[in-house]
Amino acid sequence: MTILFSSPATRAYEKVRARMVSEQLQPRGVTDPAVLAAMNRVPRHCFVDDALQSQAYGDFSLPIGEGQTISQPYVVALMTQLLGLTGKETVLEIGTGSGYQTAILAALAERVYTVERIKALHARARRVFDKLHIFNLLCKIDDGTLGWPEHGPYDAIIVTAAGPSVPEPLVAQLADPGVMVIPVGERGNQKLVMIRKQDGEVMEEIVEDVKFVSLIGDHGW
């Protein structure tokens, strides 16, 4: 895997990324060294519009068009840390969005499959992946609530939009053992839920309050 995270354009933000890690992530309990390293390397500014690049490392979400957002760095890091990736996993992401979370996953997993329902966001993310030489992933346009059964089961699944409940197709495509992280709840008010499948049992744990855009699809809103 070759990921081009070091170029004059990306190095210009190195100090800002380092502050993001030390001031936003570590004080809030993000301690996984691999996750912190990925957050320190992946150029978040490449995944937002040029006019917003100066704000890319702020402690907040940003609009990416089509009524969607790029999550704040802490939320991206937290959700990634909950997956417990070691570099050998096959990961399914529902909601490619800007592609930033996808790039973080690609830096930590063996293979990433990502599904996006909005064509414009899908196309833009693919251009950024190519620019950064991120090739250990496959993306498609589809209803993410249905998952991507052809490549399952998945060691880890991450959902970057909130639905009223956990989509059953995603639970079915989760490996045993496996872990899923998904925001669940009402529009504008959700809980981040970690789901573990172990020995045929599915266990849920509420992590914290979050606010995500809505998960649209047959098993969403």
- The token duo for 53 is 């690049």
Question: 3: closest CA among 169, 135, 165, 185?
Answer: 135
Cα 143 from Cα 116, distance rounded (Å): 7
Cα 143 from Cα 67, distance rounded (Å): 17
- The token duo for 116 is 């996006």
Q: What is the DSSP string of 102-137?
A: HHHHHHHSSEEEEEES-HHHHHHHHHHHHHTT--SE
Cβ contacts of 211 within 8 Å, gap of 6 or more = 162, 188, 189, 190
22 is catalytic: no
Rg (CA), the chain: 16
The beta strands (E) that lie in the chain are given as: 62-65, 68-70, 90-94, 111-116, 137-141, 154-159, 174-186, 189-198, 201-210
Residue identified by tokens 């096959």 is 90
Set 71, 98, 165, 214: catalytic member: 71
Give the catalytic positions in this structure: 71
